[in-house]
A and B are shown apart, each in its own frame.
Chain A
């Protein structure tokens, strides 16, 4: 993949070429927008490294290139030689080694003059990559600008042998042709993209409108349901109260016939009241009026309460209701009443459609995610055909079947379960075969997490002084947008990682001064300071360059990010699975990390 914009390659065959390299470095630095001071720094660093390559590496090459598409771009100078390598790089870099000719100084000095300096040395040769970010406000270097630059470099031959200049000019002309071709291709692509873009924008507008319509209709339905249910409730309560009064013979005795009839009235009113209650629950969830009240509880307690509650529903002795023992399960922190309601609905549903056999209720940690608990209710009833499996989670749907006709129901139970599970951050699944039975599963998080947009007080999050739990690995999150920060914190909740938040690079530095995180999640567009520069500096310090940095940003410039030392690069939005998987691979790969896992 040739994404870097190649500017020029020089060969180091003679001493004069070292001079040429630094002069070219200065010209290129000037053309790419560096200030005079930086031009001198770059030229000096190139001079040092090129001399090393020429003197100790028996010649080599110097290549200038630009990486990155968005400003600030990155100037890359790669110096390669085929010499014997640097014998003791570590001691050279630590300043313990000083050759009489000053080679060590050249390397150390160049590291200071540039943003970053990668050295890769082996007995077969040495490769040094010098990197410096273009200054803020420098116009982006594009293929077109490089063409112009090439032309100017070609027109400005500098002190060197005639052949060298000729050869370089030929090279520049070739590069120029290539660039022009690339430029034309880019123009064509841009036009094409613009056309597509216009279409997409129009389509989006249409979709938005439709979505708004639907949302309004849905809100109206929920409001209607909620109001109507309340209106129904009052007369229903009077009917039930009056029927009970009659049945209690307070107003004189009833004939046996009358007693039966009033009994029917009472039963009818009660059924209707149950239906209205379900409707009301559903409407409440849809209008967002339901609050989740999380608390600690155990599965065993939940099961024993359910057992007591549901025993009266077991009217035949051909069906058995079994609760599996819930051993070795962690405590839950979620809304017990809602979990209980979901299971009750599952069980009563199962009871309705099972004539013979058993209904089994179990709980276990999900196999694929230890942070989820799975409740299953399996029956040996009539089962549900594949076609209908999605339908039954929609409101007011009931499947036509012989047995269905004999059972009463509102068709609201399962949709309610689905809504409740979603409210708790979980989901519902169904596995069923007609004639063999059904298995309903509710997958719920062990610990209920407030939704990210719930708007917790800012201050609590912004303060960088989060308490560090010694059992969990600290991850520094540098992100200025509070919702995104909260989102990442939620991602990490319940994992072996804990987040330490910083809303700016200044805060990040304060955190880093106090502790060493196991990884850093870095946003690029931060207020006040340029994160590219910060990344470059961070990754060039030996003490901390081993700390993995995961860039998550809207800026699509992975090449540059990786070139500056980022260990992973994501364009927002960053998904939970991606973050966790990346952390796992980067952090747990570090030596000594395994022992700290819980």
Chain B
């Protein structure tokens, strides 16, 4: 079964979602990521969704769940690279992403996580 790759950079984990995820794939990512946070003792997670042009309520909720689980495991999550059209649509859809912080791109996201962990 296919998987979304998770890269480790120091104490940060970088997830770049390159494909349009079906629901099972999104759930698998949730499992993989929580396992990797524990295994790698990560304190930050960057999720790059710049390749996604559709984020519907399911994927949105999945991202929000990941952030909540990561927080319980003492890691901060930043979502980076959200396209403007996706942002507008999420708001119109009425979906909030509680506990999820966002940054414009990977660089800024990383800076945000590092400044917090110092």
Interface residues of A (CB under 8 A from B): 15-16, 18-19, 22-23, 26, 36-37, 39-41, 43-44, 47-48, 51, 102, 105-106, 108-110, 112-113, 159
Contacts and interface: CB of A to CB of B under 8 A. Distances in A.
A44 B61 contact: no
A93 to B, nearest CB: 13
Given A43-B54, A105-B57, A15 B93 contact: no
**9 tightest A-B contacts by CB?**
A109-B93, A40-B85, A47-B56, A43-B54, A15-B22, A37-B85, A19-B22, A44-B56, A40-B89
A561 B107 CA distance: 50
A165 to B, nearest CB: 15
Interface in B30-89: 53-58, 61, 83-86, 88-89
Interface of B: 19-24, 53-58, 61, 83-86, 88-89, 92-95
Contacts of B61: 102
Contact of B92 (A102, A106, A112): A112
Contacts of B89: 37, 40-41, 44, 113
A28 to B, nearest CB: 13
A159 B20 contact: yes
A43 B55 CA distance: 9
B22 A105 contact: no
A48 B86 contact: no
A102 B20 contact: no
A314 B83 CA distance: 96
A487 B95 CA distance: 49
A112 B57 CA distance: 13
Contacts of B92: 41, 109, 112-113
Nearest to A55: B23
Contact of B54 (A16, A40, A102): A40
Contacts of B53: 26, 39-40, 43
13 contacts: A15-B23, A19-B22, A22-B56, A23-B20, A37-B84, A37-B89, A41-B89, A43-B54, A44-B56, A51-B56, A102-B57, A105-B57, A105-B95
Nearest to B53: A40
A105 B20 contact: no
Contacts of B21: 19
Given A15-B23, A39-B53, A40-B85, 18 more contacts: A16-B22, A19-B22, A22-B56, A23-B54, A37-B84, A40-B54, A40-B83, A41-B89, A43-B54, A44-B56, A48-B56, A48-B57, A51-B23, A105-B57, A105-B93, A106-B57, A112-B93, A113-B89
A22 B93 contact: no
Contact of B23 (A18, A37, A48, A108): A18
Contacts of A22: 20, 54, 56
B24 A15 contact: yes
A245 B55 CA distance: 107
Contacts of A108: 94
| Residue of B53, B56, B86, B92 with most partner-chain A CB within 10 A | B56
Given A47-B54, A109-B93, A19 B20 contact: yes
Contacts of B20: 19, 22-23, 159
A22 B57 CA distance: 13
Contacts of B23: 15, 18, 51
B69 to A, nearest CB: 16
Nearest to A22: B54
Contacts of A48: 56-57, 93
Contacts of B56: 22, 44, 47-48, 51, 106
Contact of A40 (B19, B24, B86, B95): B86
Contact of B22 (A18, A41, A110): A18
Contact of A109 (B19, B24, B83, B94): B94
B5 to A, nearest CB: 17
A113 B93 contact: yes
A40 to B, nearest CB: 4
Contacts of B93: 44, 48, 105, 109-110, 112-113
Contacts of B95: 105, 109
B117 to A, nearest CB: 32
